[in-house]
Amino acid sequence: MIIYFASDIHLGSGDKQTQRATEQRFVKWLRSIEPTAEVLFLVGDIFDFWFEYNRVVPKGFVRTLAQIAHMTDSGIRVIMLTGNHDMWVGNYLTEECGIELYTKPQIFTLKGKKLFVSHGDNTNIKGQPMLKLINAIFRSKCLRVIASWIIHPDLFLRFGQWWSGSSRKAHKTQTDLRYLDPLIEYARGYEDKAVDHFIFGHIHIPHQTDNITFLGNWAEGCSWAELDDNGSIELKNTKL
């Protein structure tokens, strides 16, 4: 059985045709791995924007959520770590889809390997006070609750879609491997030397070096990583 890792699907981004094509590719992939999946890690930015009210969630994504629910119902463990585009989660994905949800980086021991798994957006941002402030504001549970009380869902979701689109335009898919350096530096200097492998999303560059895997994105084709029974981690990048 195989443990799978994917990130940065950005469901809901682009025009209607692009949105549907991305979701179709992702659901097709989910169905293809179902027979061999032991655990599926969704390592952030699965949605281009996600915000939950007590009784309201964003419209759409029904094919993805139904497939994930089907997988968890069949005994496949699905673990999601939030990213900077889907950090505003509540209990919907857990209660309705059976997803194990984490809002911070986590260490897991699987297949005899100690894995550090993180989206990567809030990692190694020392010396960037403005970014730290923005992260603190957007990750504040108190502000999230206040916003849900005073802002109509349609207005907030419209704002979120605008903000997500602006963020993607400001950080287009990169090919320069130097964009990986801050996370590589973080991994190499990590205090727990017993960690065998680091897995990150966020940067949108599928790449593997030493004991670090960057999962890439699904804007063009798809990429993911697999951990097999021998403890080997392989990065795969193809089109469906």
pLDDT digit string (tens) for the chain, length 240 residues: 999 999 999 999 888 999 999 999 999 999 999 999 999 999 999 999 888 888 888 889 999 999 999 999 999 999 999 998 888 888 999 999 999 999 999 999 999 999 999 998 877 556 556 555 666 666 667 777 777 788 887 787 777 677 666 665 555 556 678 889 889 999 998 888 899 999 999 988 999 998 999 999 997 679 999 999 999 999 998 866
**What pLDDT does 111 receive?**
95
Cβ atoms of residues 187 and 123 within 8 Å = no
Q: Supply the pLDDT for residue 173.
A: 54
CA atoms within 13 A on the CB side of 169: 7
pTM (2 decimals)? 0.89
Question: Is there a contact between 51 and 160 (Cβ–Cβ < 8 Å)?
Answer: yes
Judge contact between 83 and 119, C-beta under 8 A. Answer: yes
Q: What is the pLDDT of residue 62?
A: 95
CB 56 within 8 A of CB 21: no
Tokens of 187: 């991994």
Cα dihedral angle (51, 199, 218, 178), rounded to 10 degrees? Answer: 110
Q: Give all strands of the β-sheet with 37-42 in edge-to-edge order.
A: 100-102, 77-81, 37-42, 2-6, 222-227, 233-238
**Which amino acid is present at 187?**
A
